[in-house]
Amino acid sequence: MIAKSLAHALASSCDGPVEWDAPSSRWTTLRAGGATAALVEPRTVDSLRRLWRLCATEGVPRLVVGKGSNLLISDEGFPGVAFRLGQCLNGLEVQGQEIVAGAGAPLPAIGQTALKAELSGSEWCVGIPGTLGGAVFMNAGCHGWELADIAVEIESLTAEGEVVRRRAADAEFAVRTSCFQSNEELILGARLKLTPSSADRIRQQTEELLAYRKRTQPLSQPNCGSVFTNPPGHSAWKLIDDCGLRGLRCGGCAVSVKHSNFIVNLGDATARDIVTLIGMIQERVLESSGVRLAPELRIVGQPSSPRNSPAAAEAAVVAAPMEAARAHQP
Ligand SMILES: Cc1cc2nc3c(=O)[nH]c(=O)nc-3n(C[C@H](O)[C@H](O)[C@H](O)COP(=O)(O)OP(=O)(O)OC[C@H]3O[C@@H](n4cnc5c(N)ncnc54)[C@H](O)[C@@H]3O)c2cc1C
């Protein structure tokens, strides 16, 4: 709940849309989850910075949102301000062999821009429906490529609102993680270094990757991509498949029959359904293989009453990132 006086200050500091009690089911690709107390979409970096600092001063929890393609907010909601990027920080520029882009730039646009400039290294971006900021935060990637391979420098806002530049080598990139998962910074943009190649080669690679996705992923149903990261030496989808879990249902969601590491929203899934299904999958895989699957999906906030599975409750705890802690700040 945001106090009236603070709501007024937020609205007057934002030069773009402000929405109160904004249901995340409208802006996450899973189409499920609770509301954030406020959703702001500043149009300029000045406004973004003012809002960011205002929340810091007032002790309001903050959450940065890109395309919501790897995000689930608990049904109880997020009692703070979600900053959606895309209205600002969406610029893209080719500078020699580099692309300099804002955090709100869509990954597919980065891949397409690189193709036009005959630069290779970001072909994988074309099939991922997120932003550059989300990709830096997650160290997104696929088929052996990842953001860390092409990032040179990242610019961000500290929790207090100061702009910092960090060499990619200092961003603690590892499997689907970076320092931004623990430092409360807002990623503003990044410089990516690519390699000259021919447009035909880049196009062919891109088309092959897109065709593979179409063949193997349930793209017509709401989802968040792979739910679990691959444990060292294993494929998460194979571990799930070996337990025969394709089609396993919980409330309004199910394990995809097309790709066993995807959960799809069948129409009316709640966050609690999804977290419970995550717990069921973890329990079954642990029992049969001894491997504990870790969610790649970022779950914000704690469900107050997970469905009747002890593993589901545990899953929620394992999955809940630092945003959960922030969400419960006074
Ligand atoms: C069909 C489909 C296929 C996918 N395929 C892949 C794949 O092949 N490989 C892969 O790695 N992922 C994949 N994903 C998952 C997802 O697209 C990526 O993780 C993507 O990088 C998330 O970007 P986003 O902008 O949607 O981030 P969001 O989902 O909006 O946010 C994800 C996390 O990043 C944080 N965040 C976002 N932007 C910022 C910022 N500017 N500053 C600080 N924190 C920020 C959020 O707070 C949140 O914790 C897929 C998803 C879908 C739906």
Residue 273 sits in a domain of what CATH number? 3.90.78.10
CA of 138 to the centre of ligand 1 (A): 6
Three-state DSSP at 247 gives coil
Contact 163, 157 (CB under 8 A): yes
256 and 277 belong to one structural domain? yes
The CATH number of whichever domain residue 209 belongs to comes to 3.30.465.10
29 and 78 belong to one structural domain? yes
55-100: per-residue pLDDT in tens?
A: 999 999 999 999 999 999 999 999 999 999 988 999 999 999 999 9
CB 129 near ligand 1, within 6 Å:
yes
CB 180 near ligand 1, within 6 Å:
yes
Q: Of all protein residues, whose CA lies closest to atom 11 belonging to ligand 1?
A: 140
pLDDT at 307: 55
102 and 146 belong to one structural domain? yes
The CATH number of whichever domain residue 71 belongs to comes to 3.30.43.10
210 and 96 belong to one structural domain? yes
Domain finish residue from 45, 61, 84: 84
CA of 174 to the centre of ligand 1 (A): 15
CB 65 near ligand 1, within 6 Å:
yes
Three-state DSSP at 317 gives helix
Domain finish residue from 50, 84, 118: 84
Torsion angles phi and psi, residue 327, rounded to 5: -60, -25
166-178: per-residue pLDDT in tens?
A: 999 999 999 999 9
| Percentage of residues in the chain having pLDDT higher than 70 | 91
Whether the per-residue pLDDT at 328 is higher than 50: the answer is no
pLDDT at 330: 23
Ligand 1 atom nearest to 65, measured from its CA: 30
Ligand 1 atom nearest to 139, measured from its CA: 11
Domain finish residue from 214, 244, 276: 214
Domains in the chain, number: 3
Residue from 29, 65, 70 to probe ligand 1 pocket by mutation (most atoms less than 8 Å from CB): 70
CB 72 near ligand 1, within 6 Å:
no
CB 137 near ligand 1, within 6 Å:
yes
Ligand 1 atom nearest to 187, measured from its CA: 42
**106 domain residue, yes or no:** yes
Radius of gyration for the alpha carbons in the chain, expressed in angstroms and rounded: 20
CA of 75 to the centre of ligand 1 (A): 20
Q: What is the mean pLDDT of the chain?
A: 91
**Range(s) of the domain holding residue 207:** 92-214
**219 domain residue, yes or no:** no
**What pTM, to 2 d.p., does this model score?**
0.92
CA of 69 to the centre of ligand 1 (A): 5
105 and 208 belong to one structural domain? yes
CB 70 near ligand 1, within 6 Å:
yes
97 and 203 belong to one structural domain? yes
Q: Which residues are catalytic?
A: 176, 226, 296
251 and 175 belong to one structural domain? no
174 and 194 belong to one structural domain? yes
Q: Of all protein residues, whose CA lies closest to atom 1 belonging to ligand 1?
A: 225
User: What sign does the CA torsion over 310, 315, 317, 320 have?
Assistant: negative
Of 312 and 242, the one with more pLDDT? 242
Q: Of all protein residues, whose CA lies closest to atom 12 belonging to ligand 1?
A: 140
**168 domain residue, yes or no:** yes
Output the six-digit token pair for 6: 């603070």
Q: Of all protein residues, whose CA lies closest to atom 51 belonging to ligand 1?
A: 225
β-partners of residue 100 are 93, 191
Any idea which of 89-98, 112-121, 268-277, 303-312 has the lowest mean pLDDT? Answer: 303-312
Q: How confident is the model at residue 303 (pLDDT cuts 50, 70, 90)?
A: low
224-242: per-residue pLDDT in tens?
A: 999 999 999 999 999 999 9
Q: What is the DSSP string of 160-217?
A: TS-EEEEEGGGS--BTTB-GGGTS-PEEEEEEEE-EE--HHHHHHHHHHHHHHHHHHS
Contacts from 58-65 at CB under 8 Å and sequence distance 24+?
A: 58/6, 58/9, 59/329, 59/330, 60/2, 60/6, 61/323, 61/326, 61/327, 61/329, 62/184, 62/186, 62/326, 63/36, 63/300, 63/323, 63/326, 64/133, 64/137, 64/186, 64/187, 65/27, 65/39
**223 domain residue, yes or no:** no
**228 domain residue, yes or no:** no
**148 domain residue, yes or no:** yes
245 and 209 belong to one structural domain? no
**115 domain residue, yes or no:** yes
160-214: per-residue pLDDT in tens?
A: 999 999 999 999 999 999 999 999 999 999 999 999 999 999 999 999 999 999 9
**231 domain residue, yes or no:** no
Residues 6+ apart with CB under 8 A from 92: 99, 100, 101, 102, 105, 109, 110, 113
pLDDT at 229: 97
Residue from 24, 78, 126, 138 to probe ligand 1 pocket by mutation (most atoms less than 8 Å from CB): 138
Helix, strand, coil content of the chain in percent (nearest 5):
35, 25, 40
Q: What is the DSSP string of 52-89?
A: HHHHHHHT--EEEESS-TTEEE-TT-EEEEEEE-SSSS
CB 142 near ligand 1, within 6 Å:
yes
